[in-house]
Amino acid sequence: MNPEPLNLNKEKLLKEWDKLKYWVSVEYPPVVDPEEMAEYVINKIKSACEFYLKYFDKPYKLKKDYPKIADEVDEIIRETIEMTPEEDGWSHYNKWLFELTFKDVLDEGDKQ
């Protein structure tokens, strides 16, 4: 599994899980094993952490590996370059990367 931002959207997660279980189960709807579901979610969290660590302080690598968000990354790079040393541009980029990586979790917190 390649590292990727965390996606814990309940509906999408259940659809993904349903597809996985459908191919390994003749029952429909498939029987959900809580341990397997927990392992699946843990692997998604690990992947998100790996994604964050892989691109921490590396906006150009992120831009190269994910061309779909190149414009967003370019904007963050511009903002980072324009910041004074006291403003700590890398913190700005890394905060943006954290929010991108864990946006589904952070968005849920905002709704409560």
Tell me the per-residue pLDDT of 15-44, one tens digit each, with 9 for 90 and over.
Answer: 776 676 655 555 556 566 667 777 888 888
Q: Is residue 78, in this structure, part of any structural domain at all?
A: yes
Q: Is residue 5, in this structure, part of any structural domain at all?
A: no
What is the percent of the chain where pLDDT is above 70? 75
Q: Is residue 3, in this structure, part of any structural domain at all?
A: no
Q: Is residue 4, in this structure, part of any structural domain at all?
A: no
Q: Is residue 76, in this structure, part of any structural domain at all?
A: yes
Q: Is residue 66, in this structure, part of any structural domain at all?
A: yes
Q: Is residue 2, in this structure, part of any structural domain at all?
A: no
The span from the CA of 93 to the CA of 33, in Å, is: 39
- In 3D space, the residue among 42, 37, 33 whose CA is nearest the CA of residue 6 turns out to be 42
Q: How confident is the model at residue 48 (pLDDT cuts 50, 70, 90)?
A: very high
